[in-house]
Every structure is written in structure tokens, then in C-alpha cells.
Amino acid sequence: DAGVTQSPTHLIKTRGQQVTLRCSPKSGHDTVSWYQQALGQGPQFIFQYYEEEERQRGNFPDRFSGHQFPNYSSELNVNALLLGDSALYLCASRGTSGGWQETQYFGPGTRLLVL
Amino acid sequence: AQSVSQHNHHVILSEAASLELGCNYSYGGTVNLFWYVQYPGQHLQLLLKYFSGDPLVKGIKGFEAEFIKSKFSFNLRKPSVQWSDTAEYFCAVNAGSSNTGKLIFGQGTTLQVKP
């Protein structure tokens, strides 16, 4: 049973460019959340997708957008990249059959470097 | 706004020493509490969680944590650490059933265990 998978593992971009990160949730999970983890910090919640809609959003600008597909996989898009967007981007998935007590499982992350 | 504070940024212990990592949160309502661990080169893994019931919860690898509602705390403990416990530890809060999926993380504690 594959866990949460993310691609690519590493990415280098320049300021002003756009980037798309991908996530496949753990089998049986239908909810995907994205987090940004800057060096030396804890992960910060970006947004959550369920039933192909953004359900919750953290304190991130509109440059950060996402999408969820019918197979529950998800993309995170970041436009007009800034140096400060350099971070590890984590995807987490959870099921909803157990209600709000379901645990989130994290993927290995995508390391984004903006030059 | 909800927040999580981890008191120790960097802890160095010798093998067999006892461990206690502090975690305090700010939120007055119902909370779900988590400790995640990130071993070097690996992704975030759940150590233990508290949703309700017995405030003393046991997790994997001999870890336990105690929820003290009056102190808004959820400290992590282990009686005897091993070199393999060297990792980054994150406390996280999910603010009740109305805010599912959005985890608020502390800044993390780096634990270094000397053999």
C-alpha cells in the first residue's frame, strides 16, 4: 500500500516563474492538504482540498492555488515566485470515513529553491 | 489566532537519559493534539495523538504524552532515549471538529542523542 507520494522531489526555479507540484494521496484517502515548511520552521498550512474544492485556506496569498482531480490527486501551483517561496512543500492526505478524528499522513515533500 | 509553542529548540541527551519536550497551545475550545517526528532524510511520521478520553496517550517507540487542559499543554516524554531517537519533533494542534485537517505546528525541537 503506497503512502502519500509527491513529485518532483527537488526543483529549482528563478524569481517570477511559475511552478506546479503534484501529490497522490494514500490509498483510500480523499482529502489533501498542502503545507509549506521553511528551513528550521514547522510546517504552515496552505490549503485543503476535498471533493475537488478548496475547503480551508491558511494565510497565503492568491499566488498559491491548487486543484484536486477526480482520483483525489492534487496539484499546488505557485505563480510569480519569490525568493521567500524557497521551502519544502508537504502534501498530507486523510480519509473522512472516520469523521474529524482521521489522522493526516504526510508525503516526503518537494524541495523548491527559488534563485 | 491559534498557535503552538515548543519551548526547546535544540536538546542534546545521552543515551538512556529521560526526555521531556514541552508543547503549549493557545486555543480555548476543543482540540486534537499530535506529535510528529521527522527522522533525518525521512518524511513526517505520526508519533501519537490525542482526541479525547485518557489524557495520557501512548505512541510508537515508547513515547507518551500527557494532555493537561488547565495548562494548555501536551508534553512529550520518553523514559530512556536511544541514539535512533535523534530527529526533529513537532507538536501540532487541530482545533476541534469545526476545523478539520488544518494542523497548526510548533517550530519544532531538534533532539540529538549521543551514543
What are the chain B neighbours of A55 within 8 Å (beta carbons)?
Answer: 101
- Across all residues in chain A, what is the average pLDDT? 93
Task: Please identify among residues 2-41 of chain A the ones whose CB lies closer than 8 Å to any CB of chain B.
Answer: 4, 31, 33, 35, 40-41
Sorting pLDDT into bands at 50, 70 and 90, what band is A80?
very high
Q: Which three cell numbers stand for residue B64?
A: 507518551
Pairing between β-strand B32-38 and β-strand B87-94 as defined by DSSP bridges: antiparallel
- Per-residue model confidence as pLDDT tens digits over B15-71: 999 999 999 999 877 888 999 999 998 999 999 999 888 999 999 999 999 999 999
Higher-confidence residue of A51 and A17: namely A17
Task: Please identify among residues 26-55 of chain B the ones whose CB lies closer than 8 Å to any CB of chain A.
Answer: 32, 34, 36, 42-46, 49, 51
Average pLDDT over residues A81-105: 86
Query: How high is the pLDDT of residue A97?
Result: 67
Sorting pLDDT into bands at 50, 70 and 90, what band is B97?
low
How much of chain A exceeds pLDDT 90, in percent?
83
How much of chain B exceeds pLDDT 70, in percent?
96
Does the beta-carbon distance from B43 to A109 stay under 8 Å? yes
Q: Which residues pair with B89 in a beta bridge?
A: B37, B109
CB B93 within 8 A of CB B4: yes
What are the chain B neighbours of A108 within 8 Å (beta carbons)?
Answer: 42-43
Residue B98 has pLDDT above 60, yes or no: no
3-state secondary structure of B71: helix
Pick among A35, A101, A102, A111 to test the B interface (most B CBs inside 10 A) = A101
Identify the residue whose cell numbers are 534563485. Answer: A115
Sorting pLDDT into bands at 50, 70 and 90, what band is B82?
very high
Smallest Cα–Cα separation from A50: which of A92, A101, A3?
Answer: A92
Torsions phi, psi for B71 (to 5 deg)? -105, 0
Pairing between β-strand A10-13 and β-strand A110-114 as defined by DSSP bridges: parallel
CA B51 to chain A, closest CA, distance in angstroms equals 7
Residue B108 CB coordination number (10 Å):
23
Q: Give the chain A residue nearest B50 (alpha carbons).
A: A101
Sorting pLDDT into bands at 50, 70 and 90, what band is A98?
low
